[in-house]
């Protein structure tokens, strides 16, 4: 019973994801970056209400060739 209560007490607001490394355009890291960003956008939830907000947010993590 205690384990069930602990699991119910863990919510998205209590679980923190690792920091997302900026993406510079390496093909070998694209899938990992996209997966990380998908989780990060879901975590932010209401703060990123529109598709434009999501695009701008993901754009903050682009550098170099990927940003161009």
Per-residue pLDDT tens over the stretch 32-46 = 999 999 988 888 888
20 versus 52: the higher-pLDDT residue is 52
Phi, psi torsion values for 8, nearest 5 degrees:
-70, -30
Give the range of the structural domain holding residue 62, as residue numbers without chain letter. 17-67
Phi, psi torsion values for 16, nearest 5 degrees:
-105, 135
Q: Which of 7-11, 41-45, 59-63 has the highest mean pLDDT?
A: 59-63
Report if residue 6 sits inside a domain.
Answer: no
Report if residue 40 sits inside a domain.
Answer: yes
Q: Average of pLDDT values for 15-32?
A: 85
Does the pLDDT of residue 17 top 70, yes or no? Answer: no
C-alpha span between 66 and 30 (Å, rounded): 10
Instruction: State how many domains the chain has.
Output: 1
Report if residue 59 sits inside a domain.
Answer: yes
Report if residue 9 sits inside a domain.
Answer: no
Burial environment of residue 51 by CB neighbours within 10 A (0 to 12, 13 to 18, 19 or more): exposed
Residue 8, H or E segment: helix 2-9
């Amino acid at each position: 019973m205690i384990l069930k209560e602990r699991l119910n007490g863990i919510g998205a607001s209590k679980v923190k994801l690792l920091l997302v490394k900026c993406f510079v355009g390496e093909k070998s890291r694209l899938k990992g970056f996209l997966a990380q960003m998908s989780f990060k956008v879901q975590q932010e939830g209401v703060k990123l209400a529109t598709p434009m907000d999501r695009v701008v947010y993901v754009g903050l993590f682009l550098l170099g060739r990927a940003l161009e």
